[in-house]
Structure 1
């Protein structure tokens, strides 16, 4: 039986987090205000000038209702904690803004978070090579779907087929972006750079996307797309259905080669103590997914392999299938009182 700590609150999690962006530049400004802090496109800024710019940004944020001292926290696992502990409601405390990025947003999770905290969950999208922001849902225009919002100022985007041809409006294709936020290239890797950035500066993100008007939707990764019996299957769609089950914490779907075709294999992490079986989950998804989207196999793990930020390492799951089903060892996290 999992031993639970006493009630945890948002206030407790946030206690040791940095409170203001000014803390980043305050020290250098005091010691060497005229030292060069940033160089871009042959222009340079001193620490003094950078501090001034930060102040201007803070003024704009303040005008939008974001106050100095507001903090960002990770709340994903709080819902899991609530389910295990039997708590009726999580304390919101001073929490005023919730945002998510880094992986496809599960609509069921979005609804649960918004119901729990009484705040909209804002979705955003970015990639390391783009510094990293590309788009986001504005806090003054929240959405009820999985959109990643509108493009950030200065960012251009287009959607192309895998062969590089323009797509019809609303059609899914590879997302290409262009702007000052796009990297110059990979370090000492000109050939790799040439594969992702063309002569006009368009960067191929490798993500599959579509536009509805000016609103961007990310549907998956080109490399993760599964082609089953000639049909495209986007893992995020299957994962969303699996994760809507009351006992599922998170899921990850990968493809497995099978006689010239691809099978769908789903890895699932359940709430501690759950008695849900793969057969139960198969029965659950059957009426919600058309036949070619249904998993051929569902594997239940204590925990899914993930990075320190919680991003699931799908390549490790795919490797385990190629290596004969040897599931990668993962240390199961425990719920305990701690400061982050």
Structure 2
């Protein structure tokens, strides 16, 4: 038997009174959280849901997320975390594709979709027999008198439950890819995938029981789930939840809760650097913060250096994907992080770079990242052909392009799908974005390729100027020509106040395109 819920259960047995999760003024111990998850498991069992079934969960960073997540696992079912920003049509697609039998969905004034629209989406899904709303106040959804709320259905449930025996090869979580090409696909991650990757995170970041993790990464995303939630509960540390990223609130919370570990995507670090911070707050943060982790997208060297100067610690960058549970590489503690690098493979994981023919490239040459190890998914749910495309001879082919240096560290070049081919030359957007960020008047930049009748593609940069800057397109183009090769510098520019981002803070290049 192996069940991912053991990450919570073990700590609840040995440290029942230790504080597990904080959300505002609400604080739960490990014993309280485990008991709440048991009530969820009993609810599902009473409704005939168990091993081999799938249960969808759409919830922001609230205590209900880990309660439901581990409760679903305890019942033997697989968790299908959904992006809280999904609209009704998208909700119906994910429920249908995953064949979910039940759906726990956050509702109320702060929800992205009205409860009535969620109910209509569920009605279009024959497999989904149960909709339960997560809400602070049942009155928020008074028109839906026939749809129960979580607090109501759990009120009479027992807080004692014997976890269902699951095998290490059973699916624990189905994580949907962002769907940048075609329809989103569900990566099936086993109990072994998720458990071993969480334990590897302990080892890799040198986790401590007295750590306090601030979690602003959405828990429906693999980064927040494994690197923070599962790893935190497995070691017995404390998790501070914030439903959304707001730079000013994050800084105050880092200071107030004496946070020791912060993880975010690069745009979060950029926003923290742009936020005015009082000296006392900054001193409080730097006094306690021992580990800053970045993932989800390539971290610009300029942002990493600015953060080190502002907060006195280096950001440790890692690399992973939904299909790999997610952690693949990390800038391991014990040596200074190498700017621009995502480090080397973590314990139990192998990585190689190959050319289009499948031949391994030499150090310094770009190649597609191929991965094998305990972290690699067993496949895309219900999509054998798509699975065969990316899983070959035990290796997962990621579609990411990287280089390996002489020390064995990897540098991400770009996503293969983001590669711009201008006049027959390969142009890597990340390289240009790194260069643009060194301009004193550029705050953030995103580079894409747009159609061109002669060159095939032309290079275009979307740029957010620093506050008070009046940088012009002509001046920036002239500067780019002085620091970039003639075939690659952007010819087209668009200045903007913000860039489209996912709920986890990644820049949505497909939306720019």
TM-score under structure 1 length normalisation: 0.76
Aligned residue among 314, 320, 334 for 1:140: 334
Structure 1 unaligned residues grouped into runs of 5+: 1-13, 45-49, 319-340
* Greater CA drift, 110-119 or 247-256: 247-256
Question: Does the residue aligned with 2:478 lie in a helix, a strand or coil?
Answer: helix
Structure 2: distance between partners of 1:37 and 1:247: 58
User: What SS does structure 2 have at the residue aligned with 1:35?
Assistant: coil
Q: Distance in 2 between matches of 1:189 and 1:43?
A: 15
Contact 1:252 1:267 in 2 (8 A): yes
2:162 aligned with 1:34, yes or no? yes
Is 1:277 matched up with 2:285? no
Q: Please tell me whether residue 306 in structure 1 is matched to residue 501 in structure 2.
A: yes
Q: 1:243 aligns to what?
A: 437
Q: 1:268 — aligned with what?
A: 463
Would you say 1:100 and 2:302 are equivalent positions? no
- Residues 379, 387 of structure 2: 8 Å contact kept: yes
Q: Which has a greater percent of helix?
A: 2
Query: 2:401 aligned to 199, 205, 208, which one?
Result: 208
- Report how far residue 225 of structure 1 moved: 0.8
Q: Is the 8 A contact 1:100 1:122 kept in 2?
A: yes
Greater Cα shift, 128-137 or 245-254: 245-254
Displacement after TM superposition at 1:188 (Å): 1.1
| Partners of 1:43 and 1:284 in 2: CA distance | 52
CA contact (8 A) 1:20 1:69 kept: no
How far off its partner does 1:309 sit?
Answer: 1.7
Find the counterpart in structure 2 of residue 71 from structure 1: 213
CA distance 1:183–1:267, shift in 2 (3 Å): same
SS at match of 1:169: coil
Task: Measure, in 1, the Cα distance between the counterparts of 2:298 and 2:204.
Answer: 30
- Quick check: 1:19–1:69 contact (8 Å CA) kept in 2? no
Aligned residues: 293
Query: For structure 1, which segment, 126-135 or 138-147, has the greater mean C-alpha deviation from structure 2 after superposition?
Result: 138-147
SS at match of 1:175: strand
Q: What per-residue deviation string (whole Å, max 9, x for no partner) do you get for residues 4-50 of structure 1? A: xxxxxxxxxx9849999958963347934631375423699xxxxx9
- Partner of 1:203, secondary structure, is strand
CA contact under 8 A between 1:148 and 1:215: conserved in structure 2?
yes
Higher relative contact order (CA 8 A, sep 6+): 1
3-state SS of paired residue (2:433): helix
Instruction: Sort the Cα spacing of 1:139 and 1:156 in 2 relative to 1 into closer, same or farther, 3 A.
Output: same
Matches within 5 A, 1:84-233: 90-91=282-283, 92-93=285-286, 94-198=288-392, 200-212=393-405, 213-233=407-427
| In structure 2, C-alpha distance between the alignment counterparts of 1:37 and 1:99, rounded to whole Å | 34
**Superposition RMSD in Å:** 3.4
Q: How big is the shift at 1:306?
A: 0.6
Q: SS of 1:206's equivalent?
A: strand
- Asked if the contact 2:445/2:463 (under 8 Å) is kept, the reply is yes
| Contact preservation (8 Å) 2:420, 2:449 | yes
